[in-house]
Structure 1
Amino acid sequence: MSPIRTVPRLLALLLCLLPLVACGRPAGRGGEEAGVREAVAAWSRTPPARLAGIPLEGWTYEVGSVRLDGVRAHVRAALRYRLAGYDGAPARSARAVELTREGAAWKVTSDGPAPGAPPQLWDQGEVAAVRGAASLVLGVGQSPATLAEVGREADRAVPAVSAAWPDAWARRVVVLVPGSLDAMAALLGKPAATYRGLGAVTTGSIGGGPAPADRIVINPEGYAQLGAAGKDVVLTHEATHVATRGATTAGTPQWLSEGFADWVAYRDGPLTPAEAAPALARAVREGGPPGELPADAAFAFGGDQEAAARAYEGAWLACRLIADRWGAAALVRLYERAGRESLPAALETVLGTDRQGLTRAWQEALRHELG
């Protein structure tokens, strides 16, 4: 063999061995990552002691990525958990977990929301829990009396919803009461201006399958400005969204979804249409009824509040009309079918009319009740 060929082969062999001691990926790095994953798994088997008052189950952190940086490790993980007796499907949270190596072992030093992900309520402070007959109220920075009051209002809302919505649902709700409007907005991942003036909103994905982990999230500033009747309306409206979630799809018109929730909230109350729909009443007196049922975009948060009020009021009165003329059972069937098929098909099957016919009847009702 030629000496000229031997030298390169020897160099190549040496270069293959060098990474073990000098360059390239350090030896044992894969073992370190495995150690980090094991440390997170061991740490996450039990919820933190500060959450002892919350009925948690299925608490798990699923590690996605691990980045090693000397004696520190940065982990991205997915937290999954259920509130026992309340959640039909796991709640999910993207988390950032930090660890520090102490000798040969890794120790978790911090856990918080991943960059860009909303926090959990307990990230904002110590959580107090109040259990009602049909509710679980979790709050941060709120007095026990406030949380108990919210629980009583939620307990009244649940049977009112069940009386109007005969389909199966959990018949219990989870209500979050953060410490401020800003804290509420952080939980929902939106600017605070989006929710200013609102009493509460409901989270949760739409569509079939297992009932999602819905949460009614209170705006403590807007909610505090409401009287007893207003608080009942708000919680009954939001609890209706929880109940109807399984029948609601992307195809369900917003006027039907929001109008149905308001119909449930107002149907046993004393308010007349003119009293409960002041913004729309002004518009009808000044220029007549709207030309069309409210479009989906009219219900967006953070826009023109007067226009949004007219949309909600008009949606409520459309659903009220359907219940009065065709019956409450027909309104429920329309809601169910409108999530599975086109609105024209649902209107024809359930009410025997089309969108134009419903719109004309709605406009006549507005002139009669608000004009």
Structure 2
Amino acid sequence: MRDPADAGIREAVAAWSRTPPERLAGIPLEGWSYEVTSVRPDGVRALVRAELRYRLAGYDPAPAGAAREVELARDGAAWRVTADRPAPGAPAQPWDQGPVTVVRGEHALVLGVGRPAAELSAIAGEADRAVPAASAAWPRDWARRVVVLVPASLDAMAALLGRPAAEYRGMGAVTTGRVGAGPAPADRVVINPEGYAQLSAAGRDVVLTHEVTHVATRAATSASTPQWLSEGFADWAAYRGTSATPAKAAPALGRAVRRGELPGALPSDAAFAFGGDQEAMARAYEGAWLACRLVAGRWGEAALVRLYEQAGREPLPAALETVLGTDLPGLTRAWQEALRNELG
């Protein structure tokens, strides 16, 4: 039989959680609910672990989730919620960091904390350009809408992602979300306000289009998709239609090639890990972009899109044979030749 105190605590959380707090009034929320997973009463106080489920109306195809810790105090014979925070080790939500300013664009919903409204409006405009650019590169069905989170600082960004701030230093933005078929409700573009501020207008367009492309391709991305293809495709989409040349957009790899350090293989997944050697990571991203640029140029843009889809369904060697009629050594040799010609 369940402890009466446990039942009372659960009922108090259920009643309290039926309506989002007033401070969230400007955020287009629906389906807001807490599912209690554990209860730990301690005299006149109690701690509850719960899973918050909600949608951003018009943007999330399925509920997003967040692990929460709810604190309660006994108020006479009843229980009253006194605090609600991220569960230990869980990422924060934007509203945990302060009042949220909401800016809507044509294709974007921007949620900012501690940032000027004019800055958020500018980011909404940039995201509105990024969504059609990503759609042009990825002519498949996707929501064609994006949620952008703009925290107050690099440390606040790291708290939203649940990772150390050092991993994101110098980066303009990242994308959250799980890989695999089906809806990815938690897919968000998260801005690093410090790194983003250092970018030119053209650089911001490239960064946002890259990240939005990850959102667009999420359902076609799986554990079998190599990182060079995922990151290279996103960069290819971002540079597509611009005047970017290999010499201009791949400076780190260009320096290596001119030193005689031609890569022996396409970039490994480990080469894209956050927090590593920045120069090596830059070479990995640049090499991935040039590999996708090669595929689009030699086999066609439609073939690059099909390769991305196929590589999410089967191992890369099989996908290369099915879509391009080549193998990994053949693609690698063609890529190396392109690097010599364009960067040497």
Question: Is TM (by shorter chain) over 0.5?
Answer: yes
2:120 corresponding residue in structure 1: 147
Matches within 5 A, 1:1-371: 30-371=3-344
2:296 alignment partner, SS class: helix
2:84 alignment partner, SS class: strand
User: Which residue identity is paired with 1:90?
Assistant: P
For residues 135-178 of structure 1, the C-alpha deviation after alignment (integer angstroms, 9 at most, x for no partner) is: 00001000000000100000000001111111110100000000
Fraction of identical pairs, as percent? 78
Hey, which bits of structure 1, 4+ residues long, moved more than 6 A?
none
For residues 88-117 of structure 1, the C-alpha deviation after alignment (integer angstroms, 9 at most, x for no partner) is: 121111111011111111111110011111
Q: CA RMSD in A?
A: 1.0
CA distance in 1, matches of 2:320, 2:227: 15
CA contact (8 A) 1:60 1:79 kept: yes
CA distance in 1, matches of 2:161, 2:239: 27
For residues 237-275 of structure 1, the C-alpha deviation after alignment (integer angstroms, 9 at most, x for no partner) is: 000000000000011000000000000000111121100
CA distance in 1, matches of 2:266, 2:88: 40
CA distance in 1, matches of 2:195, 2:261: 31
For residues 28-48 of structure 1, the C-alpha deviation after alignment (integer angstroms, 9 at most, x for no partner) is: 982121111111101000000
CA distance in 2, matches of 1:267, 1:303: 28
- The alpha-carbon deviation at position 347 of structure 1 amounts to 0.4
CA contact (8 A) 1:88 1:213 kept: no
- The alpha-carbon deviation at position 211 of structure 1 amounts to 3.2
1:80 alignment partner, SS class: strand
Give 5+ residue unaligned stretches, structure 1: 1-27
2:125 alignment partner, SS class: helix
User: Which residue identity is paired with 1:311?
Assistant: A
CA distance in 2, matches of 1:29, 1:102: 21
2:95 alignment partner, SS class: helix
State the TM-score, normalizing by the size of structure 1: 0.91
Give 5+ residue unaligned stretches, structure 2: none
CA distance in 2, matches of 1:233, 1:316: 13
Which of the pair has more CA radius of gyration? 1
CA distance in 1, matches of 2:165, 2:261: 34
- The alpha-carbon deviation at position 74 of structure 1 amounts to 1.0
- The alpha-carbon deviation at position 67 of structure 1 amounts to 1.2
User: Which residue identity is paired with 2:152?
Assistant: G
- The alpha-carbon deviation at position 212 of structure 1 amounts to 3.0
